[in-house]
Structure 1
Amino acid sequence: MAFCSRLNASNSSAIAFPSSPARHRHPLAAARASNSSNQANGVDTFKSQEGAGSKSTSSCDVMKLFNDVQQNMLFLNKQRIDALDGLQRVEREKEILAAKLSLLEAEVEATVSERDMLKQELQDIKAIAGEGRGMQNGKGNTGIEGYAMPSPVFSELLLRIDSMVLTGAINIEQASRLKSLVSKQDAQAAKTFLSLEPQGDKELAFGLLPLLDPNRRFGLHITHICTELDPIAISGAIGNFVLNLSRALQRKGNLVEVILPKYATMNMDAVQNLRDMQVDFRSFFGGQWHRNKIWTGVVHGIAVTFIESLHPGGFFLRDHFYNYSDDFERFSYFCRAALDYILKSGKQPDILHLHNWQTALVAPMFWELFASQGSGDTRIVFTCNTFKYQCLQEPAKLGLCGLDPVRLHRADRLQDIVQPNFVNILKGGIVFSNKVTTMSSAYAYDLDHGHGLQSTFMAHKNKLLKVFNGLDVTVWNPAIDANLPSRYSSEDLSGKVSCKRHLKQQLGLSSNDSIPLVGCLASQVSDSDLELIRATLNCSVMKGAEFVVMGESKIAELQIEFEEKGGKIIKSKDDSMAHLLMAASDIVICMLVDEEAAELPLIAMQYGSVPIIKQQEASEGSVKDADDVSRWMDANAFIYRSGTPQDLMVAVIKAIDCSVNDPERWKQLMRNGMSKDFSWDGECVEAYVSAYMSMK
């Protein structure tokens, strides 16, 4: 009875009782009415003046009244609960409608963005076409805002097709199919025509007819999800890698775009056509949908989407890009937001290209949550510049972005090998990607540099690719290198001899040009690398060669030994000296200790120096062993089989002997290296395109 009284007292002021039939009239009101009536007749029903019978009747009436109160309260509470449920349903429907509206707005904005991007590409093509033909407007300049005036490329191609038919270069059926390419304004057909137009009909036909191949490869849609891009967000080597690879891929006819976080500290001056899409885009994280702003722009011709997080944690409103205690939360949020954006904007890229542990979580997230939503044809490539940084986290944190910790915390998935109580985010990128590459050579896959992931490499060895980065041939090219006293090329090597004399004079070495010079760039070395350098010094002295190493830190430990044996150590970070050492050396010892040093074999070959490189570090596509009889005609390097000083010494002896005793073969090795295209447009981009196509 006391509980019912408290319940009534607490609710009577907040609840207005509705009108109801007589049997549901307010019991207290009925009691007052009854009591008032009895008092008017001089009778008090709550006094026991009428004996036991009256007392019993009064108790029953009170009990009945309170029972009625309880029934009414239950009835009203049920109505209130039903009303709250209805309100919650309305709120949920409102959120669903808002999400649908946001999706439609995003799709509209994405369509506008893609339209703008296509317009920009068309302008670029027209500009290139106009510049290639020397077209000018009536005022004698190259048009508005630096763009050349467009020329009627396809109209002229149409006329040339008729000419090729009349001259017998092609038949009528081929002409019809080529005209179909013209009607579609095929960019590759226009590009081929512009490059071959000055030549005859037969030569033009020879270039155009391969475009009719039914198996012709058309461009891919490649989306990079990354955390850096040169020059707007640079911290390490990844930003330069993404920019150069993207530009090379786009020059090959592929559609390339980049998705980045919008940091508070970015060089936005380098972004063209920066635009706030003005959409309320939401992404899932921590059990809630959080707002983001979407920005778009163009960086060196590449379409870029910036995701500006409005999460209360201020994930990207920091002074630096990395090294915060909540880096996992920051970048897992970005990974989920990037995938939510791709889904809601209707994009279906052929390839998602991920970079380093910060975006590795995209791979398991894609296959676990997004592939079933219409993106099952997309494939994933994961590139890492070092496997040293892996990001270990408690499994429960995977739930923040919607992943199932129990499902993924397994040895064949994300469970860390060394610390099994944690999940390894970098490992997730390896396990759930279709192809895995490094930003250098394959050194990171071997037992010396695997950082505990060797068993994972073995389990996924069929997806590991060995690809060297492309070289920036505007920087590393002996024919135009301003750091050299004399420039040279594979056709005229006399400048290389001059560079060798210049360096030896600076270092006080012998003036004899016939003495082989062995060079080594070693900015960061381990104790085992010091032993290799010592072995090279001893071997060079024994064979009558000279050895110069450029580096700092541990290299200084060998100073006295070098001076005693006639070797030279250059303690400098002077970039021009590094260029001169590459040009002056006959032989270059390559120690691939980081992603920057991974370019050394290619730089050496570009400068006509023959590299000596460890087998695991040698890309099969670029480096070919001079000790392999089957590779004699295209060999360009000496490869030693293991990391022991003894094996390195054997390779050094073979290289020195070849340079001294077989000068004709040595020149062939030099020219083989110099003749290869190590630019981003050469073997590097072809290797990535082949990898992409093999997955499709």
Structure 2
Amino acid sequence: MYIVQIASECAPVIKAGGLGDVVYGLSRELETRGHCVEIILPKYDCMRYDHIWGLHEAYCDLVVPWYGTDILCDVYCGWVHGRLCFFIEPKSWEMFFNRGCYYGCDDDPMRFAFFSKAAMEFLLRSNKRPDVIHCHDWQTGLIPVMLFEIYKYNGMEFQRVLYTIHNFKHQGIAGTDILEATGLNRPEYYYQYGRLRDNFNPFALNFMQGGITYANHVNTVSPYHAWEAQHTDQGFGLGHTLHTHQYKFSGILNGIDYEVWNPEEDRYIPHHYDIATFEDKALNKKVLRERLMLAHGDKPVVAFIGRLDDQKGVHLVHHAIYYTLSRGGQFVLLGSATEKGINDWFWHEKLHLNDNPDVHLEIGFNEELAHLIYAGSDMIVVPSNFEPCGLTQMIGLRYGTVPIVRGVGGLVNTVFDWDYDGYHEPEERNGFVFFQSDTVALESAMDRAFDIWEKEPALFNQIAQQGMQYDFSWNHPGQDYVALYDYIRHK
């Protein structure tokens, strides 16, 4: 098959979150299975050009109709760690992608509406006719709309679209000007609930609503989150739309890159290990303590790695620090805050705990240190308020670091509680799960993990090694996506 991915991110050249990892990891997996994959991205001024090989101009002066006139774009081509990528650079006074950032501009809906329009024009003018166009999140929600309403009449009637939603919270809200700009026009037509009209604001258009409505199939990034999005507030207002289109909505769990996250050959950790040499994990724990100036001793190390924001259950992260200390453990945090208030809060805690030999708070992100923390910690807490998929717990399992997670989203599909899971045999269980978003629930799960670590160390190691046996690589998701592509091609 010939597949074109259209997205706002692709790791490591453009990465603001998990979306970039998925676009890169899935594309590589599809290629290993013999499929042809190309990726279309914005050409940001702030992306990591050092990760692109052979960048060159592939299409000069691409004409993109916009607001009844034209904007010219240059399209560049290069390889990102073996993936063939096309980067769209508009030549206009709006400077859509020369802002020094990927997201966060007041005109983000207009920026990514233009990117979507330009991507479709590039496919049309360069005579690319993929079997499947796979687009991602709100930034590309207009692509299925434009394909069905415009481009299928211009020679792209056989293309099919899979639309993957990574985060329902951000949906792309805009007004009538988007219709005029993209050439969709006809506001009376699109301001209907069955098309682009937002479910709660009758004066707003919703990119994600359009993507769900017009795509041939829609998926999110774990089976349980697909259920949550339809039946709980995790759909952030799109539950009715998803219910209407439930016949074409499903969940596929993300994978992680086992070439990057593999304790057997990880270049960022000093001591490699696997299930057979699990005792060598303790050597990384010693190095981690030395690097972060933590006290040595017979104590468990509990970690948190990730963004410090409300989605990640930041109030429970904070509580986990002090509860770990009260139970005689050590805590290591690596994360950056998305809001000033949370950033100030954790900087205050960092200064307050700075002389404590049992805790280290690293405010920011450091890729090398993240690998060492995974390898050197005994447990990792993931107390998210919502988590469409979650990569942290899967990486923790790979490194034999026992996850303590809240039972939401993809965490439910990957972590199976040692004491209470009724669907898996004891030899299949790999962590500890709690469900309420309060401190009592978190403490209950942490207590169970600590008790086993202290009283039955051999059993704790067994749980950790059972987690290492799981395959959360892109192998299974890749197979699922290929089956889905085949399905929408032939239906």
**Both structures adopt the same fold (TM-score exceeding 0.5):** yes
Letter in 2 for 1:356: D
In the superposition, relative to structure 1, how do residues 319 and 565 fare at CA in structure 2: closer, same or farther (>3 Å)? closer
2:464 corresponds in structure 1 to: 670
> Are 1:532 and 2:350 counterparts?
no
More strand by share: 2
2:259 corresponds in structure 1 to: 473
Query: For each residue in 1:428-482, what CA deviation from the matched residue of structure 2 results, as whole angstroms up to 9, or x when unmatched?
Result: 22333312335999499496765544554555556142523423533x3323345
Q: 2-side partners of 1:591 and 1:351: how far apart?
A: 36
2:333 corresponds in structure 1 to: 550
> Identity rate of aligned residues, in percent?
26
1:168 corresponds in structure 2 to: none
Larger radius of gyration: 1
1:405 corresponds in structure 2 to: 187
Q: 1-side partners of 2:302 and 2:43: how far apart?
A: 47
8 A Cα contact 1:487 1:495, kept in partner? yes
Task: Write the mapping of 1:480-499 to structure 2, written as runs, cut at 5 A.
Answer: 480-499=265-284
2:198 corresponds in structure 1 to: 416
Equivalent in 209, 222, 225 of residue 6 of structure 2 = 225
> Are 1:606 and 2:402 counterparts?
no
Q: 2-side partners of 1:612 and 1:567: how far apart?
A: 19
> Are 1:582 and 2:378 counterparts?
no
Q: 2-side partners of 1:497 and 1:319: how far apart?
A: 42
Q: 2-side partners of 1:339 and 1:593: how far apart?
A: 36
Equivalent in 29, 38, 45 of residue 257 of structure 1 = 38
In the superposition, relative to structure 1, how do residues 502 and 344 fare at CA in structure 2: closer, same or farther (>3 Å)? closer
2:339 corresponds in structure 1 to: none
1:653 corresponds in structure 2 to: 447
8 A Cα contact 1:638 1:651, kept in partner? yes
Root-mean-square deviation (CA, aligned residues, Å) is 4.2
More helix by share: 1
Letter in 2 for 1:395: T
Gaps of 5+ in 2: 336-342
In the superposition, relative to structure 1, how do residues 459 and 549 fare at CA in structure 2: closer, same or farther (>3 Å)? farther
1:639 corresponds in structure 2 to: 433
8 A Cα contact 2:288 2:373, kept in partner? yes
Task: Write the mapping of 1:175-324 to structure 2, written as runs, cut at 5 A.
Answer: 220-230=1-11, 238-262=19-43, 267=49, 270-272=52-54, 274-277=56-59, 282-288=63-69, 292-293=73-74, 296-309=77-90, 315=96
Letter in 1 for 2:440: Q
Q: 1-side partners of 2:218 and 2:411: how far apart?
A: 16
Shift of 1:255: 0.9
Q: Which structure's relative contact order is higher, taking Cα pairs within 8 Å and 6+ residues apart?
A: 2
Aligned residues: 471
SS at structure 1 position matched to 2:313: helix
> Are 1:432 and 2:214 counterparts?
yes
In the superposition, relative to structure 1, how do residues 642 and 580 fare at CA in structure 2: closer, same or farther (>3 Å)? same
Shift of 1:244: 3.1
Shift of 1:525: 4.0
Q: 1-side partners of 2:410 and 2:114: how far apart?
A: 37
Gaps of 5+ in 1: 1-219
SS at structure 1 position matched to 2:23: helix
Q: Compute the TM-score of the two structures, normalised by the length of structure 1.
A: 0.58
8 A Cα contact 2:64 2:118, kept in partner? yes
1:568 corresponds in structure 2 to: 359
SS at structure 1 position matched to 2:161: strand
Q: 1-side partners of 2:128 and 2:288: how far apart?
A: 55
Shift of 1:562: 7.3
Letter in 2 for 1:489: D
Q: In terms of mean alpha carbon deviation, does 482-491 or 593-602 score higher?
A: 593-602
8 A Cα contact 1:550 1:578, kept in partner? no
Shift of 1:256: 0.5
Shift of 1:406: 1.7
Equivalent in 477, 484, 490 of residue 691 of structure 1 = 484
SS at structure 1 position matched to 2:138: helix
Shift of 1:222: 0.9
Query: For each residue in 1:554-581, what CA deviation from the matched residue of structure 2 results, as whole angstroms up to 9, or x when unmatched?
Result: 3356579979999624345455544333
Query: For each residue in 1:114-164, what CA deviation from the matched residue of structure 2 results, as whole angstroms up to 9, or x when unmatched?
Result: xxxxxxxxxxxxxxxxxxxxxxxxxxxxxxxxxxxxxxxxxxxxxxxxxxx
8 A Cα contact 1:520 1:590, kept in partner? yes
In the superposition, relative to structure 1, how do residues 639 and 461 fare at CA in structure 2: closer, same or farther (>3 Å)? farther
Letter in 2 for 1:479: E
Shift of 1:367: 2.0
Equivalent in 392, 416, 430 of residue 624 of structure 1 = 416
2:338 corresponds in structure 1 to: none
Q: 1-side partners of 2:190 and 2:24: how far apart?
A: 33
